[in-house]
Amino acid sequence: VQLQASGGGLVQPGGSLRLSCATSGFALDRYAIAWFRQVSGKEREGISCISRRDGNTYSIYYTDSVKGRFTMSRDIAKNTAYLQMNNLQLDDTADYYCAALRGLCSFSADEYKYWGRGTLVTVSS
C-alpha cells in the first residue's frame, strides 16, 4: 500500500491549491482516505475524509475550520484522491498528508495505518 501526496506550494491569502493523493496497492473504494495537516510542534489534525457508505454512495466529512472552503473528491479509475483548497488563509499553512484506513472515516490519526509523505502548503503574502 502506497500513498503519495503532491500539489503543495506557496500561495497568497485567498488563493487556491489542489492537492492530489496518488494511491497504489489497494482498492481505493474499500478504504477511507483522509487528509491531515500538521504544523510543527502541534498534533496532526484531520481535516477531510471520504469513505464508502453503501452501494455506490459515499460520505465526505470536513472539520469545521475548512468547511465551505475545501472540497475533497476521488477518482476511483485513477486511484487518486484530491483536496481542492479555496480561499486559503494564513492558518492553513502546514504539511498536508493523505492517509488510508480500511473501514469508515475517522479524524483520529492513530487509526490510520497507511500514510503518504507530506506536501507543504505555505500561505503567505
Mean local confidence (pLDDT), 82-93: 98
* R_g (Cα) of the chain, nearest Å: 14
Question: Distance (Å, rounded) from C-alpha 86 to C-alpha 68?
Answer: 9
pLDDT in tens, 51-64: 988 777 889 999 99
Place of cell 500539489: 7
Q: How confident is residue 17, by pLDDT bands cut at 50, 70 and 90?
A: very high
Q: Are 101 and 32 in contact (CB under 8 A)?
A: yes
Question: Distance (Å, rounded) from C-alpha 83 to C-alpha 71?
Answer: 6
The pLDDT of residue 30 is: 87
pLDDT in tens, 110-120: 999 999 999 99
Q: Report the 3 state secondary structure along the chain.
A: CEEEEECCEEECCCCCEEEEEEEECCCHHHCEEEEEEECCCCCCEEEEEEEEEECCEEEEEECHHHCCCEEEEEECCCCEEEEEECCCCHHHCEEEEEEEECCCCCCCHHHCCEECECEEEEECC
Nearest to 38 by CA among 89, 109, 87, 102: 109
Q: How confident is residue 6, by pLDDT bands cut at 50, 70 and 90?
A: very high
pLDDT in tens, 25-45: 988 888 999 999 999 999 999
Give me the phi and psi of 28, to 5 degrees please: -55, -35
Q: How confident is residue 4, by pLDDT bands cut at 50, 70 and 90?
A: very high
